[in-house]
Homo-oligomer: A and B are copies of this chain.
Amino acid sequence: MRTTPTPATAHPAEGPGAEGRAGGRAARGALHKGQQTRAAILDAALGLASQMGLEGLSIGALAELMQMSKSGVFAHFGSREELQISVIREYHARFEEEVFFPAMREPRGLPRLTALFERWLRRVSMEIDSGCIYISGAVEFDDRPGPVRDALAAMVLAWHQALERAIGIAIEEGHLRPDTDTQQMLFEIHGLILALHHDARFLRRPGAIDRARAGFARIVHQAATAKGRRADGVTVAPAA
């Protein structure tokens, strides 16, 4: 699913030095060049989609941005739809790199669940100026059936399933009470992120990040066992 390395290791298009070190053979260089161009187009497309929405993506606008011909862009992405789907996959890959994989290195249970939420929250906070493709894409495509919507829904569902699994593991570890409803908790946590995106981005209301954190602490506190509170490493104040 991943088409470029992680943001942390830089995009190939931005790191031509790496190619120089690897280089030598012409065929390999050409293949590399094609991949670099594709990655650079995808990077620009992701930026464009964050600003204009997935529906704002067009081969023409992208060609202009890249100072390429339209047919040059078409050579890498056969259609606008294919481009949109590639952007969704690229977004998902970066989301996984920034949010999912680092959080998975935390101990099972509440520490991992808290890390998943905190990294998700930070990512959405950083996207306040550009917009989150998952959130805005859901509204753009909620009544437009087709492969783009399907790709977007599949990515969002994969993320929701990962979170629900983390909640389930926190129950297994004895950090959350056994009667915790995993889907209910996921629903409420997701609501906090959506409210953060709405208030910070649309209403420009300050304090939304703290409110999302306080909401999460309250939800977790209410469902946590004594063991869970110790494991989480934070003293959650009694819910207000």
Contact = CB atoms under 8 A, between A and B. Distances in A.
Interface string A127-161: 00001000110111111000000000100110010
Size bracket, chain A contacts: 35 or more
Contacts of A51: 143
Contact of A203 (B153, B180, B202): B153
Quickly give the copy total for this chain: 2
B142 A202 contact: yes
Contacts of A135: 139
Per DSSP, chain A at the interface is helix
Contacts of A223: 240
Given A138-B198, A139-B139, A191-B215, 8 more contacts: A187-B212, A188-B188, A188-B192, A188-B195, A188-B218, A190-B199, A191-B191, A191-B192
Q: Which 9 A-B pairs have the closest CB atoms?
A: A191-B191, A191-B195, A194-B194, A138-B202, A139-B139, A142-B202, A187-B211, A142-B201, A136-B139
